[in-house]
Amino acid sequence: MGISTVEEGSPGKEQQAAGLGILLQIMMLVLSFVLGHVLRRHRFYYLPEASASLLIGLIVGGLANISDTETSIRAWFNFHEEFFFLFLLPPIIFQSGFSLSPKPFFSNFGAIVTFAILGTLIASVVTGVLVYLGGLMYLMYRLPFVECLMFGALISATDPVTVLSIFQQELGTDMNLYALVFGESVLNDAMAISLYRTMSLVRSHVSSGQNFFMVIVRFLETFVGSMSAGVGVGFTSALLFKYAGLDIDNLQNLECCLFVLFPYFSYMLAEGLSLSGIVSILFTGIVMKHYTYSNLSENSQRFVSAFFHLISSLAETFTFIYMGFDIAMEKHSWSHVGFIFFSILFIGVARAANVFSCAYLVNSVRPVHRQIPLNHQKALWYSGLRGAMAFALALQSVHDLPEGHGQTIFTATTAIVVLTVLLIGGSTGTMLGALQVVGDGHDGHLGEIFDGNNGYVAPTYNEDGTTGNRFKMKLKEFHKSTASFSALDRNYLTPFFTSQNGDDEEEHDDPMPSSRNGGFHDHS
């Protein structure tokens, strides 16, 4: 009969099962990292590391299902949601924000914000409306309208870890395209979480007849409140490390311990205030990388970079393994295949509405030589994989929604994550080559304008243009304001919160690494 099941009331058996479960998880992690290294070394892009981790989970779960040890393995791999939300997701999200390089991020800040905020809103609403209409037309499982919007919000959370692992030096992808994809994916998570929580609150108070204004207020409360908490903790840490005098050799341990604790302080503070800890820790990562990091000693900088790279890699790999294991082991609502099929079609349409409409707005305020070309827009559309964040929100929906509804959404999301990671992730290299966005990293059409000190200089506009469109003029003013923010940051914020001026900070800034791979090497 294989390995016997765990007997209740037997501490020895329970301890043995727990040990075997941990051993199984470690074995899968080791296999995933070794396989990922082999694939990367041989530049085999058709099976990225995230896909390999998913397949390992699928294979182990599938073997357990056809063997007589299913109950034991399920007990060994007992997975608590609290563990996912408290220990796996925070380091992944923090590393995403911590990996943002300020120079390309702020250079493309207007475009990134447009894609991440407005684009995610468009994608969420379009997906929700199409899913609701599909239910009315009996094409798929019917859900209430608010629950369709919740599904649209959670499935709009992109996680292009697999794509970014290929958007590296090996393929020489344009740095501005890399910045757009990476920056959009980071801020997109924050927007998706805030939209999901807002729709969840609307659903729970639907009987009170809240108007549209209250929905906007609740969204701003979640998003702006969480962002403010994260930014506040980040600025506090920067001032502490600047004036506390911790950057000396004999205080390195204290310096590193404090730096590691601040992200979790931000996460727990937001959760304690009934805000979003994920949004908060994301912005804490962005601020701490831009300001606090430069106040550390060189040894501490190396340590914290390696530490967060390590734990985020472990968390990401384990998350993808578990997703594969879960889809093979759990009892999903596979009877609603139509819901999965049409959801995949609808999110493709919604992603297109997101990317191409936002690209049109961005290009309408950019001079010709800085507009986002069509092949880059197609690359942005194609890179909308769903991953850890969509999975986490779908896991939450099982508890937020009635029985059957939440399980259907969770099954569909899990299937979408697996299909997008395996199919889109594996074909990304081919797609980049077909779109001709693979080069030496110097794309003249998207190259940013930098002054002698490598600072971003806002392009000049012809205010007497023939369009005469007041809306476009407002967009141009917003685009100019992003460059003004870069100047404000370089001239005031960086000198105030760090021990060096803005130019020095940009010169020593690390490239943007993916949390799985090495950094992107700047060719400038």
Q: What is the per-residue pLDDT across 274-313, written as a single tens digit (0 to 9) for each?
A: 888 988 998 999 999 989 999 998 889 999 999 999 998 8
Give the DSSP letter of residue 88. I
**CB of 171 closer than 8 Å to CB of 203:** no
Q: In degrees rounded to 5, what are phi and psi of residue 45? A: -85, -5
The secondary structure of 253-321 as a DSSP string is: HHHHHHHHHHHHHHHHHHHHTTS-HHHHHHHHHHHIIIIIGGGS-HHHHHHHHHHHHHHHHHHHHHHHH
pLDDT mean over 231-257:
87
Terminal-to-terminal C-alpha distance of the chain: 63
pLDDT mean over 360-383:
87
**CB of 168 closer than 8 Å to CB of 517:** yes
Q: In degrees rounded to 5, what are phi and psi of residue 86? A: -95, -25
Confidence (pLDDT) at 285 = 93
Q: In degrees rounded to 5, what are phi and psi of residue 511? A: -65, 175
pLDDT mean over 353-380:
89
Give the three-class secondary structure for 95: helix
Confidence (pLDDT) at 225 = 92
- Out of 47-51, 231-235, 371-375, least confident range: 47-51
The Cα–Cα gap between 329 and 318 comes to: 16
Q: Does residue 444 have a pLDDT over 50?
A: no
The Cα–Cα gap between 126 and 409 comes to: 17
pLDDT mean over 484-513:
66
The Cα–Cα gap between 282 and 270 comes to: 11
Give the tokens for residue 318: 């384990």
Q: What percent of the chain has pLDDT over 70?
A: 74
Q: Does residue 36 have a pLDDT over 60?
A: yes
Confidence (pLDDT) at 227 = 92
Which range, 126-135, 278-287, 403-412, 469-478, is most confident? 126-135
Average pLDDT value over all residues in the chain: 78
**CB of 312 closer than 8 Å to CB of 95:** yes
Confidence (pLDDT) at 47 = 81
Give the three-class secondary structure for 500: coil
pLDDT mean over 424-443:
69
Residue 110's CB is within 10 A of a number of other CB atoms, namely 22
Residue 162 binned pLDDT confidence (cut-offs 50, 70, 90): low
Give the tokens for residue 88: 């796996």
Chain segment 75-102, per-residue pLDDT in tens? 555 556 677 788 888 998 898 888 876 6
Q: Does residue 443 have a pLDDT over 70?
A: no
Per-residue CA distances from 94 to 101, 114, 230, 253, 308 (Å): 14, 22, 11, 21, 8
Q: What is the 3-state secondary structure (H, E, C) of 10-46?
A: CHHHHHHHHHHHHHHHHHHHHHHHHHHHHHHHCCCCC
**CB of 208 closer than 8 Å to CB of 81:** no
The domains located in the chain, with CATH, are 80-317+330-435 (1.20.1530.20)
Chain segment 299-308, per-residue pLDDT in tens? 899 999 999 9
Q: Does residue 205 have a pLDDT over 50?
A: yes
**Chain mean position to CA 320:** 14
Is the overall model pTM greater than 0.75, yes or no? yes
Give the three-class secondary structure for 456: strand
- Out of 133-137, 205-209, 355-359, 411-415, least confident range: 205-209
